[in-house]
Amino acid sequence: MSDIILKAENISKQYRLGTVGTGTLRDDLKRNWARLLGKEDPFLKVGAVNDRSKQSTEDYVWALRDINFEVKQGEVLGIIGKNGAGKSTLLKILSRVTAPSTGVIKSRGRIASLLEVGTGFHHELTGRENIYLNGAILGMQKAEITRKLDEIIAFSGCERYIDTPTKRYSSGMTVRLAFAVAAHLEPEILVVDEVLAVGDAEFQKKAIGKMQDISQGEGRTVLFVSHNMNSIAQLTNRLLIMKNGGITYSGDPLVGISNYLNEEKLSNTIKYDESRGKPYIESVSVNTILDHNIHLFGKELSFEFLLICPNDTEDLAMSFQILNEQEIPITHNWIFDADKNRLRKSGKYHFTCSMPKPKLYMGNYSLKIFLSNSKTKEKYQVIEGIGDFKVEMLTTTRTDYNWQKGACVYLEEASWEINKYD
């Protein structure tokens, strides 16, 4: 028997902008007549690409276009992409919430979906009653739900309020309870949209652990959409990247995340409204050992910042973080006007920050820069995704291990001592 549990074949979804139906009686009749004759919808032949950066001139738009992929049993498939790329539409089609315009979905087993906060909940009912309601919607028998009830309540952390109507729940409590129901009722396929972003850090960690248990321990399949690259890297073993309604990448999560983040980076020249009269950073550069922003491990690394002060300024503070591929801060450096006593007059200033022996391990990095007033705490500027560079160990032979996912990104100097005892 094939281990393919979910298959999407030529999935497309088309919407008409602004109106329900085609917009005219003639076109509605034409569409209905084609449906009666068993022919293809004539309006599926037209439609603009789903590109949010451009204004559409068409009445129809393709939210999805020719999506094809397979998911194996026990696989955790991550899906990332910018807002509007088609991720949620795809999950709604996979969950049978909406039908595709063209194509077919083939699946085996029960699909449990968590697409929006409070999906399948009636907010006049209590948390306990909603567990039974949501479980029934997911296709569970009452006896099955009762058997799992205590475990669901404990996992959600809502024990104290379980007999309170969910309309009095916070969004975080609602999503915790909804996730607990979906994860514990043993679906063959669990579909999770980015609703976990609502929960706190502790619950997110617990939810990721549960999804790992579902896939690795129970051999079930998980489809996971998130903007949190760290969660994607931890949880998934295959990644899809979506752009403008299509799939642009399918493969290793770490490679995909790196490509995606590098695509999204800003240029090193920063656009800023000078009319505000506030200090601002005009440009940033990273001085790497090699061309194309490639740096060698352990060699001196420096960063340059061009700062503009339109007016006399005191108490200026500038700092920057170095972020890894998952946009997690690795190290932090700062400078205060009070320390240097140089930034008192208006003008253009050139800052250089040098690291004699940086301990950044191999990988892709970027900068996040902060400019503020150290006394009043006023934020002048926050710049993200700039100053991309890559650290390599070109002269070092390194073995890749099966634990390489989630490997270190910062190496500390250390000494070893070995004592042998007879």
List helix spans (H) across 53-193.
87-94, 127-137, 142-156, 171-184
Res 162: pLDDT: 92
> Residue 306 forms beta bridges with which residues?
283, 350
By residue count, the chain amounts to 422
Report how far residue 260's alpha carbon sits from residue 236's, in angstroms, rounded to the nearest whole number: 15
Q: Where in the chain is the domain with CATH 3.40.50.300?
A: 4-109+188-263
**Mean pLDDT, each 10-residue run in order, the chain (422 residues):** 82 71 68 74 57 54 88 90 85 86 87 70 89 82 88 88 90 84 81 69 76 79 82 85 90 82 55 70 87 82 89 86 86 76 75 88 88 88 86 61 57 64 62
Output the 3-class SS for 175-224.
HHHHHHHHHHCCCCEEEECHHHHHCCHHHHHHHHHHHHHHHHHCCCEEEE
Place of tokens 């890749």: 400
In our burial notation (b when 16+ CB lie closer than 10 A, e otherwise), range 63-85 reads bbbebebbbebbbbbbbbbbebb
Report how far residue 344's alpha carbon sits from residue 316's, in angstroms, rounded to the nearest whole number: 9
Place of tokens 């990721």: 208
**CATH code 3.40.50.300 for 4-109+188-263:** yes
Q: Give the strands of the sheet with 329-336, arranged side by side.
A: 294-296, 379-392, 363-373, 316-323, 329-336
Res 346: pLDDT: 84
Query: What class is the 274-392 domain?
Result: mainly beta
Res 238: pLDDT: 92
Res 266: pLDDT: 43
Report how far residue 242's alpha carbon sits from residue 17's, in angstroms, rounded to the nearest whole number: 21
Q: Where in the chain is the domain with CATH 2.70.50.60?
A: 274-392
Res 401: pLDDT: 46
- Plot region of 119 (φ>0 → left; ψ -120 to 50 → alpha; else → beta): beta
